[in-house]
Amino acid sequence: MANLFKKSVNLIPLKVIIALAMTASAVIAGVTYYFTPKYSRVGYQPTQPVAFDHSLHVEQVGMDCRYCHTYVDRSEHSNVPATNTCMSCHSMVLTDSPQLAPIRESYATGEPVQWVKIHKTPDYVYFNHAAHVNRGISCVECHGQINEMEVVYHAKSLSMAFCLECHKNPEDYIRPLDKVYDLNWEAESQQAQARMGEDLVHQWNINPPLSCSGCHR
Amino acid sequence: MALSAEEFQTVQAPKPEVLKKVDPVSLPQRPLVENNRSFHYITDLICSIVEVKTPTWWWIAFTVAALTASFTLMGLTYLVSTGVGVWGLNNPVNWGWAIVNFVFWIGIGHAGTLISAILCLLKQSWRTSINRAAEAMTIFAVVCAGIFPLFHVGRVWFAWWLFPLPNANWIWPQFRSPLEWDVFAVSTYGTVSFLFWCMGMIPDFATIRDRCGEVAKRRIEGASGAVEKAFQIGYQKFRLYLYTILSAGWRGSTNHWRNFEMAYLLLAGLCTPLVLSVHTIVSFDFAASILPGWHTTIFPPYFVAGAIFSGFGMVLTLMLPLRALYGLHDLITQAHIDNMCKITLATGSMVGYAYAMEFFIAWYGANPYEGFAFVNRAFGQYSWAYWIMISCNVISPQLFWFKSVRDNAALVWVISIFVNVGMWFERFVITVTSLANDFLPSSWGYYSPTMVDIFTYFGTFGLFSVLFLLFIRFLPLMALSEVKALSMPQGDPHYHGTDHRDSHTHKAKTPVHHHGEEGVDQ
C-alpha cells in the first residue's frame, strides 16, 4: 500500500506541540501581567469630590495620620474622617476656597462627602489595621508614600502575593513603634533593618499567619 | 552464561546408566491458545470485532449506557449549580459516597495495572489475552474515580489549584495532606497507564490499518442504496486515516520491535511500583488521620490487596460476557479463568485476614475508642453494611477453591458481581462507620446519601460502559502479537519438539514475538 501521509507529516505533532506551548506561554504571561492587581489596580486614581492633598497636610502642615484617621490604631477599620474633622480647621482656614465647597455643603446639610474608595480588600479577606500598625507595620508598606501624594492613588498591588511576601518575611518590613507614622523613616542600612527586624520579630513574638484561615475567616 | 544445546550435551559427563531407566514425569501445561489456532485465525477473530457492521446488541447496550451516564451529568449539573450541600455530607459524616465511590473506582483499576505490569515482569504469559481490556478498564475506572474528588472540591473551576502551579496569589497546595498526595498518585497512575495502553496497541493498530483496504472494498460493495454507499465511502476513509494515525508509522521492522519491547519493559517497570503505591496513598487518606477505625498501620497492604481483589472481580465481570459474545473461548481459555479466580481467591483471603486482624489489634491494643469502632462496625447502626461486606468479600470468593465452581462461567460471573458489591460496601463501612460514631457521642449521627449522590454514582457505571463499549468497537481487544506468540506450535518457529530439557534450553534463546507476521498477516 502506498504511504497515506507524506514524510513532512511527521513534523506535524512537533509543530503542534510547539504551537501549543507558545500559545500557553503567551496566555499565561498575558494573564499574569494584565489581569493581576499589579497592573489592574496599581495607578488607580479616581477623581475625588475634593482633591485632598496629603503632601500639603502631612509634609507642610505636619499633621499626624491619626489626626484624621482616628481609629486606625484602635480598630480593624481605618476611618475616613467625617466632615467636622475637616471643618475643625477649615472653619477658620481657607473658608471661602471654591475647592472646599463640597465640604461646606456636607457640613451644612449633614450629608457625608462621597469619597471614592481606592484601597479595597475583597469581602472574603479580613484585614485588621490596628493589628498591623501596633506591631510596627507602617502605613507606607501598603499605601505607598501617601505623605507625598497630591491626589491619592493605588500605589501597591495589595494582591495576595503582596500580603504573603510580608507575612513570610516580616523582619524586612517591621519598624519601631514610634516610627510607624513617620512615613519618611527608613533604617540606616539594609543590615540595620535586618538586625532590628529580627530583634523586633523575636521580641514581640511576631508570627504572621500563613494558613488560609489567617485572612479568609 | 547459557550454553546451546549442543555445547550442553558435549560438556556433560556421560549419563549414569540409571537415568536411562528413569521416566521423568511430564507436567503438561494447559495451552493458552486452544485448538491449535493459526495466526490468521487470531488476527481475523480480533480484527473482525472492529471491522464488522456494528451489531444491534452494541447499539442497544450503548444507548442504555449513554442514558445511564446522563444521570451523572444531571447529578453533577445540579451539584455545580447549587453547591456541594446537595450531597448527603454533613457533620459528623463529612465524607460519604464521594470518597467511597472514588476509592471503589480507583481500586478497580488496579487489576489492569497488575496484569499489564507485574505479570509482564513475572513473565506470566497468560496475561496477554486479557491485558488490553484490563488496561482499558483501568483507564476508564480512573476517569470515573476522578469525577468524585474533582466535584467534591466544590468550586470545580478551581480544581487546578490542586496542582502546585506557580500563580500570582503565591499559594501552594497543602503538601502535608494525604489528599494532595492522592492528586499526584492518581494523576501519575492515570498518565502512565494511558501511555502503556496506547503504546501497546500500536502494532495492533497497524494490523487493523493494513486490513482497512479490504474491509473498505467489502463494505462499500456490500452497501445497499446510494446513501449507505456514500456513507461507507466516507466512513471507510475515516477508518483508514484513524488507524494510520494511531499506528504511528508502524511497519513491523526489527528496529520498531526492538524499541517497542524496550519501551514496553520500561513502562512495565514504571507501572509496577504504582500498583502498590497508588492504593497505599489512597489508604493514607484514612490512615494518616487520628480517627478510630482509620488510624491503623495495616491499611496500605490491606487496601492494595482489596484493590486487586476488586479489580479482578471487575475483569471477570467484563471478560466473561465478552468471551461469550465474541466466541473468544480459544484465546481466553479455562486456564485464564482459573488463574483469575485463584488471584481473586488469594486477595479475597488477604482482605478477610485484614478484617480479622483489625479486630484482633483493636482488642489487643486495648484502646477503648478503637475497640468500640470495630464492635460498632459489626453490631452498630451500620451492621447491615458490614455483613454484606463480609459475605461478599470473605465468604463468596472462598467458593473458588472448588474446581467445579471455577469451571462454571455463569457462577464465576455471579461471584465476580458479589466481589464488586462487597468491595463497594467495604469502602462504605470504613468511611461512614468511623465518622458517624467518633469520640463524642453527642455529635453522633446517621448518614444517608441523597438522590443526587445516588444519581451521580449510578451514572458512572453508564460512563464506564460507554467508554468500554467504544473501546471494544474501535480498538483492538487483545494484544494480537503477544497472543500469537503463545499459539503453539506456530508461535515457536523453530519447533523444538517435546523433550523437556532441550526445549527449555532453546526457549531462552527464541524471540518471544513472532515479529515477521505482524502487519502483513492477510
Domain ranges of chain A: 13-39, 53-80+119-215, 81-114
> Which residues of B fall within a CB distance of 8 Å from A161?
168-170
Residue B488: pLDDT above 90?
A: no
| Distance (Å, whole) CA B438 – CA B331 | 51
Measured between beta carbons, which residues in chain B are less than 8 angstroms from residue A165? 170
Contact criterion met (CB < 8 Å) for B213 and A32: no
Displacement of CA A209 from its chain's centroid (Å)? 19
Supply the ipTM of this predicted assembly: 0.71
For the ranges A29-43, B1-15, B150-164, B412-426, the one whose mean pLDDT is highest: B412-426
Task: Kindly tell me the burial class for residue A27, based on how many C-beta atoms sit within 10 Å of its own C-beta (0-12, 13-18, 19 or more).
Answer: exposed
pLDDT at B71 over 70: yes
Q: Give the model confidence (pLDDT) of B233-290 as tens digits.
A: 999 999 999 999 999 889 999 999 999 999 999 999 988 998 899 999 999 999 999 9
Residue B497 reports pLDDT greater than 80: no
Residue B163 near chain A (CB below 8 Å): no
Question: Cα(A98)–Cα(A105) distance, rounded to whole angstroms?
Answer: 11
Comparing CB atoms, the residue among A1, A10, A160 nearest residue B171 is A160
Chain A residues in contact with B244 (beta carbon < 8 A): 4-5
User: A160 contacts in B (CB within 8 Å)?
Assistant: 168-171
Answer yes or no: do B241 and A4 touch at CB < 8 A: yes
Candidates 1.10.490.10, 2.60.40.10, 1.20.1630.10, 3.20.20.70; CATH matching B31-164+172-517: 1.20.1630.10
Residue B347's Cβ-count burial label (10 Å; 0-12, 13-18, 19+) is buried
Q: How many helices (H) and strands (E) does chain A have?
A: 11, 0
* pLDDT of residue B515 exceeding 60: no
Instruction: Kindly report the average pLDDT of chain B as a whole number.
Output: 88
CB of B494 within 8 A of CB of B506? Answer: yes
Helix and strand tally (H, E) in chain B? 20, 0
Whole-structure pTM over 0.90, yes or no? no
Region B422-438: what's the mean pLDDT?
94
What sign does the CA torsion over B117, B123, B125, B126 have?
negative
CA distance B371 to chain A (A): 35
What are the cell numbers at B141? 475506572
> What is the band of B454 on the pLDDT scale with cuts at 50, 70, 90?
very high
pLDDT value, residue B24 = 81
pLDDT interval class at B3 (50, 70, 90): low
Cα(B257)–Cα(B199) distance, integer angstroms: 12
Q: Which residue ranges make up each domain of chain B?
A: 31-164+172-517
**B227 — pLDDT class (breaks 50, 70, 90):** very high
Tens of pLDDT, residue by residue over B279-323, are: 999 999 999 999 999 999 999 999 999 999 999 999 999 999 999
CA-nearest of B149, B173, B174 to B89 is B149
Which of B 249-268 lie inside 8 A of A, CB atoms?
A: 249
Contact B345, B401 (CB under 8 A): yes
Question: pLDDT class for B9, splitting at 50, 70, 90?
Answer: low
CB atoms within 10 A of CB A149: 17
**Residue that is written with C-alpha cell 497508588 in the block:** B278
List the 34-73 stretch of B: residues with Cβ below 8 A of A. Answer: none
Q: Which residues of A touch B168 (CB under 8 A)?
A: 32, 36, 159-161
Cell of B494: 523453530
Per-residue pLDDT tens digits for B45-68: 999 999 999 999 999 999 999 999
